[in-house]
Amino acid sequence: MFPQVNQSDTYEDCKATADWLLARTAVRPSVGIVCGSGLGGLAAVLKDQVAFDYKDVPNFPQSTVHGHAGRLVFGTLKGRSCVCMQGRFHLYEGYPVQKVAMPMRIFKLLGVDTVILTNAAGGLNQDFKVGDIMIVKDHINLPGFAGTHPLVGLNDERFGVRFPCMSDAYDRELQQLAVDVGQELGFGDLLKEGVYSVLGGPSFETVAECRMLRKLGADAVGMSTVHEVIVARHCGLRVFALSLITNQAVMDYDSQEKANHEEVLATAKQRAEQLERLIYTMVARMEHHNNNNNHDDDD
């Protein structure tokens, strides 16, 4: 008998949560959106909203971080049915890594096929400026190196295979769509692309840690997203992720700069409108984009 490790997100638990939600809203979402620190305003753009506080949703964790509202909002965006998480969960809140990523499994059981994740991150790449938006092309899962991984434990084939591929974790067509939309909206110069590294937090990184991460090839660092991406891909969901560069990581011992959460929220507030426009224009195009793909397949 194999041990069960933190099996707080069994198929039955996730299905019970999804069924509870589906019984209380007529929305059948195809897109799931996760809002990072200070970026919860994305949910406000949804039409015909039905919202649930995390504390009222069975089996759902609760967000404890300032800048994370802690609500699940259903509605439509440019005619496309969506569900939006206003606030996510982190290892540093004390949740098991499986619980942190559990919402991706609930998304899957709600009928979602594409997930868009946003986060606030520290810039490691010296070419990045505060306020830049990084399209995530890949990640480094440092906690995973030490066995803190959301797929540890018994694998349930109803979700996905035991050993999922991660070399294609971030959908390349959606990355290109983001570049095209950003250019059209007039802020293509803010868009960068790069590798996101996750750490456990909640302390910000030391100078030595930042230097190490940069040498490993990371362009930005944060405390979220990667565990969700792994579970979303395990479930077969299409994934797109954006990092808002809210502060420059301190790489120099002589620097007087200090990373802080208030700076993160302030930058997020300044850039929120552009991020919202980018994402809701992408969502509107994705349907057209997917239809084109389907049409090509039919030919």
User: For this structure, is 223 an active site residue?
Assistant: yes
User: For this structure, is 173 an active site residue?
Assistant: no
Determine contact, residues 124/210, Cβ cutoff 8 Å.
yes
User: For this structure, is 234 an active site residue?
Assistant: no
Catalytic residue among 30, 37, 59, 125: 37
Catalytic residue among 8, 69, 209, 261: 261
User: For this structure, is 227 an active site residue?
Assistant: no
Catalytic residue among 30, 59, 81, 224: 224
Catalytic residue among 54, 90, 169, 220: 90
Q: Which residues contact 203 (CB under 8 A, 6 or more apart)?
A: none
Residue 185: other Cβ atoms inside 10 A: 14
Q: Which residues contact 253 (CB under 8 A, 6 or more apart)?
A: 207
User: For this structure, is 157 an active site residue?
Assistant: no
User: For this structure, is 37 an active site residue?
Assistant: yes
User: For this structure, is 120 an active site residue?
Assistant: yes
Rounded distance, CA 20 to CA 36, Å?
25
132-163 burial, b at 16+ Cβ within 10 Å, e below that, comes to: bbbbbebbbbbbbeeebbbbebeebeebbeee
Q: In degrees, to the nearest 5, what angle opens at C-alpha 285 toward C-alphas 167 and 246?
A: 60
User: For this structure, is 139 an active site residue?
Assistant: no
Catalytic residue among 8, 16, 51, 92: 92
Catalytic residue among 30, 59, 93, 134: 93
SS3 at position 97: helix
User: For this structure, is 224 an active site residue?
Assistant: yes
Catalytic residue among 120, 178, 268, 272: 120
Catalytic residue among 223, 232, 241, 249: 223
User: For this structure, is 170 an active site residue?
Assistant: no
Catalytic residue among 30, 59, 68, 220: 68
Which residues belong to the active site?
37, 68, 90, 92-93, 120, 223-224, 247, 261
